[in-house]
Amino acid sequence: MYGILDRYVGKNIILSVLLVAVCMTLFAGLITFIDALRYIGRGSIDFLFVIKYVMHKIPGICVTFFPVSILIGGVVGLGMMARNSEIIILQSIGLSKLNIGVSCVKSIIPLIIVILCIGEFVAPRLEKIAEENFDKASLNVGVSLTTNGTWIKEGNNYIGILGIVNGNMLMGVVRYEVEGNKLKSYSKARIGQYENDQWVMYDVNKLTLTDAGTVHENIPKQVWQIGINLKRIEVLSDVSENLSVLQLYDYINYIEHNGVDSSRYRLALYNKFMSPLVMLVMLLLALSTIFGPLRSMNMGARILSGISLGFGYYVLNQIVAPFSIVYGVPPIVGASFATIIFAGFAIYLLNRKS
């Protein structure tokens, strides 16, 4: 499957991509670290906590910047081969642009699989640990983030939240009121809305335990005193979206069953599905700087072109994705629009003669 030429081309591409990925991850990690320093002194956060917090975020940062790393690394690796006339030699022995492109794709696929696994199984768990520790240290509220939801301890109350939608709605909220080692009452609300600086729960089923027995109540609307405001819930809502594909799919089914719009979460799901294709499109753009009209540029100009293309993709995706939600465009369109546009642009550059 992998011939000698495939391995040779792959070695150059993989080394360049990994080098760029490490540099970009360290640079972005440094920025995150500098930004997190402003939290020192809040609650029990100190310098050592900030270091641990950033280290937990490093895998997620690497996954985020890996598509751009493929683009810039591909430009550098292929550019070095072009400068040493190796691309010309490969073409002189009968390899076409397509053959060289296929060699690059075959070489980069194992890296893509590794990154997808990190993004699916490693990064979300570490992100949850980081945010859980941050909430405990800064908000002085006991928070536990699990695959089954978020748990908050406030005094003698234990509050479980199955999901957070759009940063201001709680789904499947339960509350256990404990007195010593004895359960005093159990309440379950279908949804909760933040209204007038307080959480209002709807369709509450409450079970109160007394010495005489149990008392069951159905309460249409009830105010719960929860010390988590919208600013604090924003952190938890970001984590609630950082789920694996299967967890995200299950979560979408749950909120749709409860009549809640799931466009935001479907967009996140489709973005996950599009991730491998985005990486291949970045590689295609890198190839276009070598075989397209940009091949006459020097290495510095090519790298700058690669950075510009990556930045252009990011900006377009960030603009189109929210617009698809606001204007009711299907989320699959918002998730794939930028990828389709840049894939077409890369093919255009590859087919255009200099």
Mean pLDDT by 10 residues, the chain (354 residues): 79 93 96 94 90 95 93 89 84 84 90 93 86 73 56 79 77 87 90 87 92 88 80 58 74 74 85 93 88 69 81 87 84 92 90 66
For 108-121, b/e burial (b = at least 16 CB within 10 A) is: beebbeebbebbbe
| Residues 6+ positions from 154 with CB-CB distance below 8 Å | 141, 142, 226, 227
* 3-class SS letters over the chain: CCCHHHHHHHHHHHHHHHHHHHHHHHHHHHHHHHHHHHHCCCCCCCHHHHHHHHHHHHHHHHHHHHHHHHHHHHHHHHHHHHHCCHHHHHHHCCCCHHHHHHHHHHHHHHHHHHHHHHHHHHHHHHHHHHHHHHHHHHCCCEEEEECCEEEEEECCEEEEEEEEECCCEEEEEEEEEEECCEEEEEEEEEEEEEECCEEEEEEEEEEEEECCEEEEEEEEEEEECCCCCHHHHHHHHHHHHCCCHHHHHHHHHHHHHCCCCCHHHHHHHHHHHHHHHHHHHHHHHHHHHHHCHHHHCCHHHHHHHHHHHHHHHHHHHHHHHHHHHHCCCCHHHHHHHHHHHHHHHHHHHHHCCC
Among residues 201, 339, 351, which one has the least CA distance to residue 274? 339
Q: What is the pLDDT of residue 187?
A: 94
Q: What is the pLDDT of residue 142?
A: 54
Q: What is the pLDDT of residue 252?
A: 81
Neighbours of 318 (CB within 10 A): 11
Tokens of 154: 């406030």
- Do residues 228 and 152 touch, judged by C-beta distance below 8 A? yes
Neighbours of 249 (CB within 10 A): 15
**Can you name the residues that pair with 218 across neighbouring β-strands?**
205
| C-alpha triplet 25, 61, 314: angle, nearest 5° | 95
User: What amino acid is encoded at 134 in this protein?
Assistant: F
